[in-house]
Amino acid sequence: MNRRYRKTIIAGNWKMNKTPSEARQLIDELKPLISKAKWCEVVLCVPYVDIPVALRALKDSRIAVGAQNMHHEESGAYTGDVSASMLKDLGVKYVIIGHSERRAYYHETDTLVNQKVHLALKTGLRPIVCVGETLEQRDQGVTLDLITVQVKAALSGVSAEKLRQIVFAYEPIWAIGTGRTATSEQAGEVGASIRTTIRKMYGARAARSVTIQYGGSMNAANAHDLLAQLDVDGGLIGGASLKAADFAAIVQAANQ
């Protein structure tokens, strides 16, 4: 991380875990543990139905609430879906876009990700855009090329002014939920490559202010080393965000 130029952001991604009552409990446990997080922004990306509870529980704290997805159209006949403006109206600040689980299970493409990025920005939500490669792609040596395509596609048509609202999360698919973390060098290398892509599109000054997180089995034990990389400006944390002490320890590592 490099706090001189950009914000460090630690975001929890609860995925499909925690009922509203469990959410309240976890947040009550978490709040006192991370009240001193001055140097980094903390976000909890919770299931849709937990959002009102989370917002209420976090009202007097600096922890922001995020969603894990949103629809790519503003409104309409999309039974079961949730729009960007609904999230904004509730008080949501961030939204995860293009998580690998959504790309894999719901066939979300780079084009759809770009559509969602535009709508999130228009609505005033900060997108956390996920990019990452499979193990097969890593073994084939195409990681950096592939991620460059994902980043370029996500940013297609996005103005330099709006770019500042976007957070990227590099999440190697082989490291998500597997307990197998990328080495800090691997995370740093891809982070640097994402920044180079942004620099080529928007110039050095804009690129240097973008927060680029790492995600994939990040935990209390490896957070410090990962965050020591210049281009790892935070984390998107799944499993370890479901336990108050583990998540707080990661926030602490980012706060040092």
As a whole number of angstroms, the distance between CA 155 and CA 152 comes to 5
Residues that bind ligand PGA (CB under 6 A): 13, 171, 176-177, 215-218, 236-240
Q: Give 202 or 214: the residue with its C-beta nearer to ligand PGA.
A: 214
Which element (helix H / strand E) includes 250?
helix 244-254
Closest CB 216 distance from ligand PGA, rounded Å = 5
Catalytic-labelled residue, pool 99, 108, 118, 133:
99
Q: How far is the CB of 93 from ligand PGA (least distance, A)?
A: 17
Q: Which is nearer to ligand PGA, 191 or 216 (CB)?
A: 216
Residue with Cβ nearer ligand PGA (190 or 236): 236
Q: What angle do CA 208, 213, 216 make, to 5 degrees?
A: 155
41, β-bridge pairs: 9
Half-sphere exposure of 59 (CA within 13 A, CB side): 6
Backbone phi and psi for residue 168, each to the nearest 5 degrees, phi listed first: -105, 145
User: Is residue 171 annotated as a catalytic residue, yes or no?
Assistant: yes
Helix (H) / strand (E) containing 85:
helix 84-90
CB of 45 to ligand PGA, least distance (A): 9
115 vs 219 by CB, closer to ligand PGA: 219
In the 3-class helix/strand/coil scheme, how is 151-170 assigned residue by residue? HHHHHCCCCHHHHCCCEEEE
Nearest approach, Cβ of 240 to ligand PGA (angstroms)?
6
The Cα–Cα gap between 110 and 121 comes to 16
As annotated, the active-site residues are 99, 171
